[in-house]
Amino acid sequence: MLTNEQLQSAADKFMALTGGNLAPYLEACVHCGQCAEACHFYEATNDPRYTPAYKLFPIAKAWKRNKSPLNWLGLGRKIRSEDLEDWEDLIFDSCTMCGRCSAVCPMGIDISSIVAVTRQAYVAAGLGPKDLMQAAENVREHGSPLGLTSDKLVDRLEWLEDENDIELPLDKEGAEVLLTVSSIEMMKYPDSIVAMGKLLNHAKVNWTFSSKGYEATNFGFLSGKIDLAKLGLSRIVEAAEELGIKTVVIPECGHAYGVMRWSGANFLGRELPFDVLHITEFLADLKRADKLKLKPYKRPITYHDPCQVSRRGGAAEAARVLLDGFAEDFREMTPTANFNWCCGGGGGVQAMASAADLRHKVFKIKMDQVEATGADTMVSSCANCRLTMDESIAHWKWDHGLNSLVEIMADNLVE
């Protein structure tokens, strides 16, 4: 049972955040139910509780009681402890903030934005999955959700340079491009860090990593701890300013791209002093400029679109530019690109142990999609998707491969 103070904190946060563009969403739902079958959690379980519109409930009730123009009708009610507790798994474990429901909603309601602000109200009340909250706090204390401190970054880059006979520049003065990392890559998939370095070196890009602003993932945003979202962003912005960077490249991480590219300026309250590109966009520009020489990749592959790059990020085309003429037997999934199914672990869901069973159920949709293509391997350009899918592949003992787009490209460079 929550205390009155906790409930008031949540209510205050709800009210503080329901201005501007969010208010119409809270009045607009016509309960048509079209969003249900767009959501992978509903699709995988057939449980009506996972209907996306249902996630509006806690904040919409508070809105209708306090701020709605029709509040005199008494439609809303005070936020109750049981409301917040009952909705917690819907707001955290079963929303990857993928935006697929909004793509079909006839009223254009952006459920993922509502979920993001509802998470902030949960944080204000001291609620939220402990593992996700701890991952976010690690950003404050250790520079990254997975404890990738600046010292560890420097050590691991040196180790990767030695192991792979490659130059991975760090804090290079005069560099034009700052390449950021996802600590998921650095700790679990270091080959993708090497792959990005190989591709940029091959194309003779004047680039660097920074020991001050390196972590692209933003668990502050995912958890609803907005002070940490700003801290993560400002570390990169300050490092880029110090080095005089023109372009910040976000690695294979979906939400990192969305937070920096589409929300960064708003969070920080100022214009970003550089361009922001996802690694697939940056490489696509290099390929268009004929600066990447690749040997053909012959095995049948398909591509998993990370929601925050393709649907929410608007950059679905970049991966196709890279695959076109390189992957000779590339097979699109159905549905694909802007309407692809989520991996099941975005929006911080990957970091919640309580959501593991649900994630695995959702991954069955992806398995069916891939099998329908006949491809034996799926590639993607998000380390969080990759980790989610790797865990589910192991869970189901699925006999298909999974790789990163930058890795298969780097493995096929013409030296």
Q: DSSP assignment, residue 72?
A: G
Return the sign of the alpha-carbon dihedral for residues 10, 16, 17, 22.
positive
Identify the residue among 2, 29, 139, 358 touching ligand SF4 (CB under 6 A): 29
Q: Of 11, 17, 59, 98, which lies in the binding site for ligand SF4, with binding defined by CB under 6 A?
A: 98
Examine residue 366 and tell whether it contacts ligand SF4 (CB under 6 A): no
**What is the nearest approach in angstroms of ligand SF4 to the Cβ of residue 254?**
13
Q: Which two tokens stand for residue 157?
A: 């880059």
Among candidates 108, 98, 95, 97, which has minimal Cα distance to 30?
Answer: 108
The contacts of residue 275 (CB under 8 Å, 6+ apart) are: 246, 247, 248
Helix/strand number for the chain, H first, E second = 20, 7
What's the CA gap between 316 and 306, in Å, rounded?
A: 9
When binding is defined by CB under 6 A, the residue of 64, 92, 93, 99 that contacts ligand SF4 is 99
In the set 14, 41, 221, 330, which binds ligand SF4 (CB under 6 A)?
A: 41
> Using CB under 6 A, which of 2, 17, 26, 35 touches ligand SF4?
35
- Work out how close the CB of 9 gets to ligand SF4 at its nearest, in angstroms, rounded to a whole number: 24
Give the nearest distance from C-beta 243 to ligand SF4 in angstroms. Answer: 36
Three-state SS at 31: coil
Residue/partner pairs of 75-83 with CB below 8 Å, 24 or more apart: 78/7, 78/11, 79/7, 79/10, 79/11, 79/14, 80/7, 81/1, 81/2, 81/6, 81/7, 83/57, 83/58
Cβ at position 42, least distance to ligand SF4 in Å: 7
Cβ closer to ligand SF4: 53 or 316? 53
Q: Of 97-105, 255-263, 265-273, 319-327, which part binds ligand SF4 (CB under 6 A)?
A: 97-105
Q: Kindly write out the interface string for residues 305-334 of this chain, putting x where it contacts ligand SF4 by CB under 6 A and - elsewhere.
A: ------------------------------
15, 23, 27, 34: which one contacts ligand SF4 (CB under 6 A)?
34
Query: Distance between CA 141 and CA 139 in Å, rounded?
Result: 6
Q: What is the CA radius of gyration of the chain?
A: 21
CA distance 291 to 279: 15
- Size of residue set near ligand SF4 by CB under 6 A: 26
Q: Residue 97 or residue 222: which is nearer to ligand SF4 going by CB? A: 97
User: Nearest-CA neighbor of 326 among 281, 381, 287?
Assistant: 287
Residue from 7, 11, 39, 389 in contact with ligand SF4 (CB under 6 A): 39
- H/E element, 114: helix 111-124
Stretch that binds ligand SF4, among 78-86, 100-108, 175-183, 405-413 (CB under 6 A): 100-108
Interface of this chain with ligand SF4, residues 105 to 164, rule: CB under 6 A: 105-107, 109, 111-112
Q: Which is nearer to ligand SF4, 35 or 216 (CB)?
A: 35
Q: Least distance (Å) from ligand SF4 to the CB of residue 342?
A: 6
Nearer to ligand SF4, 100 or 202 (CB): 100
Following CA atoms 253, 255, 256, 257 in sequence, which dihedral angle do they give, to the nearest 10 degrees? 90
Residues that bind ligand SF4 (CB under 6 A): 29-35, 38-39, 41, 52-53, 55, 95-101, 105-107, 109, 111-112
